[in-house]
Every structure is written in C-alpha cells, then in structure tokens.
Amino acid sequence: MRITKAQAQANRAHVVETASRLFRERGYDGVGVADLMAAAGFTHGGFYKQFGSKTDLIAESAACGIGQTVALTGNGVEPAEFVRHYLSREHRDGRGTGCTIAALGGDAARQPDAVRTAFATGIESLVTALSRGDDAAADCADARQTRAQVLDMLSHLVGALVMSRACPDDSPLADEFITVCRDAILGALVTHQVAEAPEPAR
C-alpha cells in the first residue's frame, strides 16, 4: 500500500527524532542504521528511501536536537532560568533528551563538513536566542560585547556539563561541576545586569 506524502514526511521526522535521541545516548559510531531503523519501527531497507547516507541523517538529527535546546529559550525565558535548567542534575543525567552540543560536540569535530555546518548553524541560532532573551543586552550599544558574553556563557555551560558527565554518576565531582559552574554563571549574569541597568533619575 502506498503511503501519502504527509505520512512519508511524518515517518521521516520520526526517524530523525529517534536518531537524535539515540545518537545523544550512544554517539554517532554507537548506532548502526539497522538498529536505528528498528528503534523507529521501520525496516533497514527503508532508510535509503528517506536519506542519501548516514551522514545526511546525522546532520538532520543534529539540527533537530539543537533546535530542541533553542526552544528552551523561547516564551520569554530568562537567561538565568535557562542556566538553572541546563546545569541541573536532571539535564546532566538525561543524555538522550539533553543538549546535542554537549553530548556530541566532540563527535561532530570528526564528522564531514555537512555535520559540522549543521552544528555551526544550530549553535548560531542558540547564541541569537540567548542574546535576545537578555533584556539588558537588548539595549546594549555594543553588539560585539553582548555576543562575546553569550559565547562565554554558552562555552561554560557546555564545558561544565561535559566535565560532569565524564565523571561516574555517583561521583561528588559530577555534582560539584554542576553546582560551582551554575553559581558562577548566575553570579556573572547578575553582575552584568547591574552594570547595564540605567541610573535612576535624579
């Protein structure tokens, strides 16, 4: 039985979402096409009707995963709220549903340009979203400074999560990375907001 175009698109999206989760859990080399399609509920042979190669799927799944992180910045979410979620034990332990950049950034560095381009595009969209979420930065005359602050914050967030996950789950050091870095980033946000606040009228 032939499937409709809409169903084919839905099937493809389901495969991409499944791949995004499995890649975050196991890494790009830890998931074969056959296992991936089985997890999505399809046959191995159906893969090449939907994707030109595994690299194509990796690039699409990276965009999907980073898009989920970008979505966390929406609906007026303050940067501090994003930081608290990002550097939480729940996010740290939820690899399959967590940040693609932290889970697969190291793997992406060894992938073809198409995958690294998907990461760069996704990271750029996250930087833009975080910049927009900072009310103080919205009126900042120096856009470069605002961008630098967001890049610095994002690098610390990702690095702290990677370091925490590198430790055993029950290691005190795993929690220490999360707590120390979260407090430092939140403190820097407060300092930045105070510095950018307009002086009261006299």
Tell me the torsion sign for CA atoms 88, 93, 99, 103: positive
The full set of domain ranges for the chain reads 5-196
- pLDDT tens readout for residues 71-110: 998 877 888 999 999 999 999 999 999 999 999 999 999 9
**Alpha-carbon gap, residue 91 to 108, rounded angstroms:** 20
Model pLDDT, residue 33: 94
For the domain bounded by 5-196, which CATH number is listed?
Answer: 1.10.357.10
End-to-end CA distance of the chain: 76
Amino acid 95 reads R
- pLDDT tens readout for residues 104-135: 999 999 999 999 999 999 999 999 999 874 44
Model pLDDT, residue 190: 80
Judge whether 107 and 27 are in contact, CB under 8 Å. yes
Task: DSSP for 168-180, please give it.
Answer: -TT-HHHHHHHHH
